[in-house]
Structure 1
Amino acid sequence: MNRADLQRLTELRIREAKALLDGGCSEGAYYLAGYAVECAIKAYVAKRTREHDFPDKALIEKVYRHDPEELVRGAGLEKDLRDEMDRDKDFAVNWAIVKNWSEKSRYNASISEEDARELHASIVDPAHGVLEWLKKRW
């Protein structure tokens, strides 16, 4: 899987999350929305990986995870994230919501529509959303 694949997967998963939300399936929408962020961070990592270079083992171990905060650290985006949160308080609120996502949500059959919509909005907000911030870097 390469950067372009991860970018396409990001867009696909966030569209699927919206379709599930609109269809009343908040549990799947929540999981896929968070997974879209995971794919976007991994697209950034792929951008930094050079063809024919053997990847650094420590980097690989850091990015073969699902936790948004760990992925940001592993990708080397932590300072950029802090700077953006200091500059844009609405973005900081959105990140606070997104960072609580877990891949374990795929096993949760009781995610509320409100929680799913809040996560989705925090990701896709055109002015302060986490996905827009990531797209500027990927």
Structure 2
Amino acid sequence: MADVLTREQRHKNMQNIRSEETKIEIAVRRYLFSCGFRFRKNDKRYPGTPDIVLPKYKVVVFINGCFWHGHKGCKYFVIPKTNTDFWVEKIGKTVQRDRNAIIALEDNGWRVLTLWQCQLSPASFQDTMRNTVNEIKGFANE
């Protein structure tokens, strides 16, 4: 099946997809801030450039889009029917890069939490965030 958009239109669409300051990231940060957490955002000093770094708790949080980071078993992760080889390779490299970053962080004593787009839908946002806050606080007590 051929792409319905021209090359220029597709380029513009892809260019507009944000990698930082997404609505989900902002909502997660607001929630954590309202719970009293202080953090750094998108800190390039750490492997994988975590979306949120909580130095006091030695915790990093990645907020991943299900499609872009290959969330297996998720309804939002479906390989496109066009240019399949490209997408399989691209997403495979992203998944491997994520794994490498997590390993490097854990080897340096960091706790790594990954929040997925599907967990942060309006219906499940509050529960996910309550669990995340409890998990972070639990790390402080260990």
**TM-score greater than 0.5 by the shorter chain:** no
When normalised by structure 2's length, the TM-score is: 0.35
Query: Which structure would you say has the larger Rg?
Result: 2
More helix by share: 1
Which one has more relative contact order, counting CA pairs under 8 Å at least 6 apart?
1
More strand by share: 2
When normalised by structure 1's length, the TM-score is: 0.36
